[in-house]
Amino acid sequence: MERTAINIGRGLRLITLSRFAGDRANALRQQRIHDYELRCAEHQSRLVEYIGVRDVARLRAKQALRNFRLLDAWRSWHESRRAEKVLEQLRRMAPVVRAASIEEQQARVGDEAERRLDDCLAVALDAKWTLIAGYSGRGGEIDRILIGPWGIYAFEVKGNRGVIHSDGSRWWVARFGRHGKPLGIKVIPRAPDAQLAASTKWLAKWFARNGIWEPIVRVVLFTADDARLGIIRSTDADLVATLRSLDLGNLFDPGSKRSSLAPQLCERIANLVVRDHLFWWRRRLGAPETANRRSEGEVTQAFLPSL
């Protein structure tokens, strides 16, 4: 599990707990490379095998000619020619690295989409804010959790391109070509607002158990340059937006929503997020002592020195 805390941009603190999409993309890429290396080793082994067959056959043919055993020489020569043809075929069939699968490409797009949000927030926010990447709790995963003076914000980040539509639990993307020619419709298999609602519901309960009743603002964000919103109906999110249209001033809007959160409270909220993530991470690994550690509020100081 990744465990890093750094300051980016104007001082925004970025705590990386995990990288779901990036780790998945890297794992799939490593698997492709591993398969390629195995095929290369097998290919090289076959080359060596047939080079040996060819060379031995040629040597036998020369020895047979020196002893005037013409029939044996002819047979050995033909054997060497067959081996040479196999070698020519093998050389033409040298292994190549497989192209990235659709799954790997989608994971890479997802990782890039999340990094776009990081870059945007790093430009706009200072050290009063903490951005937590890769939280995973009992209710599911949250791509990014932003904690600062004006509240708590949970982001479900998508890299889909085109015009995004939703109607209740159905989400889909309409794609168009350069001249407006329709390229078809792609259904988004898992409703992003439903994913976010499930994970934030659990996190809100965990906060409430610790005496924090601050609401979590749920944001479904599409970060691709050519992503646009179409018809958005009945979503289970507080905001659906594209990165280009995201108005942080309107999102935070402290004057009309709530008073400013004290720095100490922001630190405590970030602490709780990290503790809950670590608890469930250890739980998935089968560590039996995690319940006590979570209730006692133990925090890994190695990557959160300020908490």
Segment holding 163, helix H or strand E: strand 162-167
Question: 3-class SS at 242?
Answer: strand
Q: What is the pTM of this model?
A: 0.78
From the CB of residue 284, how many other CB atoms can be counted at a distance below 10 Å?
10
Q: Which residue type sits at 170?
A: R
Tens digit of each residue's pLDDT, the chain (307 residues): 556 789 999 999 999 998 888 888 889 999 999 999 999 999 999 999 999 999 999 999 999 999 989 899 999 999 999 999 999 999 999 899 889 888 888 888 888 999 999 999 999 999 999 999 999 999 899 999 999 999 999 999 999 989 999 998 899 999 887 777 777 888 988 899 999 999 999 999 999 999 999 999 999 999 998 899 999 988 889 999 999 988 888 788 655 455 688 999 999 999 999 999 999 988 888 766 544 445 544 444 444 444 3
Contact by Cβ (8 Å): 269, 129? no
pLDDT at 119: 94
Check residue 307 and give its pLDDT.
39
E-strand stretches of the chain: 4-8, 12-16, 130-137, 140-148, 151-158, 162-167, 170-176, 182-187, 216-222, 227-233, 239-242
Query: Vertex 252, ends 110 and 224: CA angle to 5°?
Result: 25
- Paired with 5 in beta bridges are 15
Please state, in angstroms and rounded to a whole number, the distance separating the CA atoms of residues 145 and 297. Answer: 20
d(CA 293, CA 262): 26
| pLDDT, position 56 | 94
